[in-house]
Amino acid sequence: MLDRLGTLAAVVWPLALALPLCVACSSADSGLARGVMAPASGSAPVAAMAGAGPADVTAVLQLVSKPRLQLGFGERVVIEAKLLDAAGNGLARVPVSFALMGRPQDASLEEVEVQTDDSGHVQNGLVAGETPGTFRVRLSAPGASELFVDVAVSNAGFGTLEVAAPYEGPRAVHERLVVVQAGADCAGAEAMDGDPMMVLGADGPDGTARFLALPADASYAVSVFAEGRDGTVLAQGCVDSVVVKADDAIAITVNLVDEALMPAGLFVLAGDLESSEPASALARAVREGAAAAVRGEASPLSAQEIDAAFLLDSLNYTLRGEELSQLAEITVLADALAAERLSPSGELSPEQSLAAALAAAGMAPSLVPAELSTRVVALLERVQLEAELMIDPGNGELPVTWHGQRLWVSDASGAELSVLLSELSQPVATQAAFDSERDLLSVGEVSFPVTFGALAAEALSAVLSVTDGHGAELRTLAGCEVLGPWLGAQVLGTSDPLACDAACLQAACDRSMTRIRSGAEQSLMALDAARPELTLSGELLLGDDDGDLLAERMHTELLSGLWQPAEGELEGDAVAGPASAAMVEVEPPVPAL
């Protein structure tokens, strides 16, 4: 049935746009937008423009005889019209052309061109053939709109056909075109100008096309085309071997089947993925990396003393840094503190006394990794994925090219934390299968580079931020507030502990948090190196918003995949969730050869 789409577009629509009246229905018909080329009694014939637009019309061609004719075999009838100028006066000696349109079978016109008489009138004879059928006679004259006479020929009488064609599919249907073709079947039916045609609205329970005065005992194919606003056929159906009985009415229903959408073009896909499994692996890496930074090399110290040594090492680094080491009192303090750590002058070493102060306050650097991983995992349990999908149907295949764009999450403030995937990956192609009955695109498994670790590092920075994150809380938990009072209470020879003022202590605290963060980031980067890919697949349901059969959008409730397993593990970490895609560029379909 697609083979006659071009004929319908070329023949039906130019006429339909100029046909505001209903030709083949009674005044009681409902749901009918307009009728086209259908023999019946009732409304006056309707003209279509001949050649130029309305501005070029200088004459009026009017029918004098009947606009619809029901003839028996071999019957002769005279078609009469008149040609008038703009003032209503007859135009003499002007040629008027007559032509048979559609399926005239063996019917004939006595003349193909007749000149108007002195009063502007013109007559021509039409002789019906010996075969039942329907067709049209077209009258045309220079500067005037065309006229049409609908003709039905039968020796067995005439009957009525009622056609219902409900549409309940997802396409954006604007109208339904109903075409009745005599002597044809669905396999070989081809709509022609002259076939009875009617146009219904998009849908409705009362949307029935009624064809009056069809030749009885003839076999018809009844085709229905559901069209979009631009005339694209979105769904169609056909019933053949339909026979009309004389002086009777029969009713049929034509079931409409959707035409397949065409998935083609460039789409931007956004996925909202549940990623608690990758988040757990990332949080574990954060916790282990941060804990290793606090713990440092193997040490004979107790766990509490290791916490204290971590803070004292950060303080020593700060005191000997470029900014402070130029101050004599700071250098004296740094040396005195180092000497005391090597050879304590009292019962407790600096590590032991600071460890006691931390324990009394319930604070320690070793408490930070667990809290830090908890905060990070909360940000990573749902990730957003953006990727480009280029779909190019050709050569009988349907390849889909993926190009990762970015991976991101949103923190509590709504700010996006993201990593750009396009800088890290090349487009990756995979095959897809299209189910035209369900408008479903099944995308095969595709793997492309992904950096979950880098995204986790962004989340880590957000958590450690003093301004927008939990940096202040974590610094307190690490014991930063204990370090100042403890240092001020120390007796370190001739040095002055208070030489390390608030800015100095803040720098020491920052150094501690930087070391914790660096340890976590190193662990995350190692995870990315060991697990660099994400595999995804899914079934995407296509949608067509403007009725042109080109899908502008896709969506799925389950885009699923795996983050590559770690070395020694059999399975990766699952990600899954809904995704949607919107078309940003259409590649014109390649015409079939």
Q: How far apart are CA 344 and CA 365, in angstroms?
A: 23
Element spanning 215, H or E? strand 208-215
User: pLDDT-based confidence at 44, cuts 50/70/90?
Assistant: very low
pLDDT exceeds cutoff 70 at 15 = no
Phi and psi torsions of 263, nearest 5°: -85, 105
Q: Which of 192-201, 291-300, 483-492, 560-569 has the largest mean confidence?
A: 483-492
pLDDT exceeds cutoff 80 at 390 = yes
Give yes or no: residues 432 and 470 share one domain: no
Range name among 33-42, 51-60, 171-180 with the lowest pLDDT average: 33-42
- 215, 134 in Cβ contact below 8 A? yes
Give yes or no: residues 356 and 318 share one domain: yes
Percent of the chain scoring above 70 in pLDDT? 87
Give yes or no: residues 410 and 476 share one domain: no
Give yes or no: residues 510 and 478 share one domain: yes
pLDDT exceeds cutoff 80 at 6 = no
Could you tell me if residue 591 is inside a domain? no
- Strand order across the beta sheet in which 108-109 lies: 59-63, 76-85, 121-127, 108-109
Using DSSP bridges, classify how beta strands 158-164 and 249-253 pair: parallel, antiparallel or unpaired.
parallel
User: pLDDT-based confidence at 2, cuts 50/70/90?
Assistant: very low
User: pLDDT-based confidence at 171, cuts 50/70/90?
Assistant: confident
Range name among 294-298, 345-349, 414-418, 580-584 with the lowest pLDDT average: 414-418
Using DSSP bridges, classify how beta strands 95-102 and 533-543 pair: parallel, antiparallel or unpaired.
unpaired
3-state secondary structure of 28: coil
Tokens of 1: 């049935």
Could you tell me if residue 315 is inside a domain? yes
The confidence score (pLDDT) of residue 207 equals: 76
Tokens of 307: 């916490």
User: pLDDT-based confidence at 396, cuts 50/70/90?
Assistant: low
Nearest to 319 by CA among 495, 194, 531, 561: 495
- Please state the length of the chain: 593
Give yes or no: residues 441 and 548 share one domain: yes
Could you tell me if residue 593 is inside a domain? no
Tokens of 434: 């299209």
Q: How far apart are CA 305 and CA 350, in angstroms?
A: 9
Give yes or no: residues 408 and 309 share one domain: no
Could you tell me if residue 358 is inside a domain? yes
Q: How far apart are CA 445 and CA 539, in angstroms?
A: 11
The confidence score (pLDDT) of residue 424 equals: 65
pLDDT exceeds cutoff 60 at 53 = no
Could you tell me if residue 397 is inside a domain? yes
The confidence score (pLDDT) of residue 279 equals: 95
Give yes or no: residues 212 and 82 share one domain: yes
Give yes or no: residues 273 and 420 share one domain: yes
The confidence score (pLDDT) of residue 32 equals: 27
pLDDT exceeds cutoff 50 at 299 = yes
pLDDT exceeds cutoff 60 at 43 = no
Contacts (Cβ under 8 Å, ≥6 apart) of 591: none
- Provide mean pLDDT across the span 331-348: 93
**Using DSSP, how many helices (H) and how many strands (E) does the chain show?**
10, 27
Domain with residue 89: its CATH number is 2.60.40.10
Domain housing 174 = 2-258
CA distances from 150 to 47, 496, 521 (A): 12, 114, 83
- Residue spans of alpha helices (H) in 99-158: none
Give the pLDDT confidence of 488-538 residue by residue, as tens digits. 999 898 899 999 999 999 999 999 999 999 999 999 999 999 998 999 999
Mean of the per-residue pLDDT values for the chain? 85
The confidence score (pLDDT) of residue 273 equals: 95
Q: CA Rg, the chain, in Å?
A: 42
Q: How far apart are CA 427 and CA 442, in angstroms?
A: 19
Nearest to 225 by CA among 20, 36, 68, 45: 36
The confidence score (pLDDT) of residue 109 equals: 96
When divided into structural domains, the chain yields a total of 3
Q: How far apart are CA 581 and CA 579, in angstroms?
A: 7
CA distances from 458 to 128, 134, 366, 378 (A): 85, 75, 22, 13
Domain with residue 272: its CATH number is 2.40.128
Give yes or no: residues 326 and 359 share one domain: yes
pLDDT higher at 467 or 19:
467
Percent of the chain scoring above 90 in pLDDT? 60
pLDDT higher at 485 or 585:
485
Which of 485, 501, 528 is the last residue before a domain boundary? Answer: 528
Q: Which of 523-537, 561-575, 577-591 has the largest mean confidence?
A: 523-537
- Provide mean pLDDT across the span 460-464: 93
Give the pLDDT confidence of 190-228 residue by residue, as tens digits. 777 778 989 998 775 557 899 988 999 988 999 999 998
The confidence score (pLDDT) of residue 39 equals: 32
pLDDT higher at 163 or 400:
163
3-state secondary structure of 302: coil
* pTM exceeds 0.95, yes or no: no
User: pLDDT-based confidence at 403, cuts 50/70/90?
Assistant: confident
Residue 308: CB atoms within 10 Å: 28
* Percentages (nearest 5) of helix, strand, coil residues in the chain: 25, 35, 40
Give yes or no: residues 287 and 350 share one domain: yes
pLDDT higher at 405 or 155:
155
Give the pLDDT confidence of 243-265 residue by residue, as tens digits. 999 999 999 999 999 888 888 88
Could you tell me if residue 592 is inside a domain? no
Burial-class residue 47 by CB neighbours within 10 Å (0-12, 13-18, 19+): buried
pLDDT exceeds cutoff 60 at 11 = no
Give yes or no: residues 144 and 248 share one domain: yes
Give the pLDDT confidence of 96-152 residue by residue, as tens digits. 999 999 889 899 999 999 999 999 999 999 999 999 989 999 999 999 999 999 999
Give yes or no: residues 506 and 540 share one domain: no
User: pLDDT-based confidence at 417, cuts 50/70/90?
Assistant: confident
Could you tell me if residue 590 is inside a domain? no
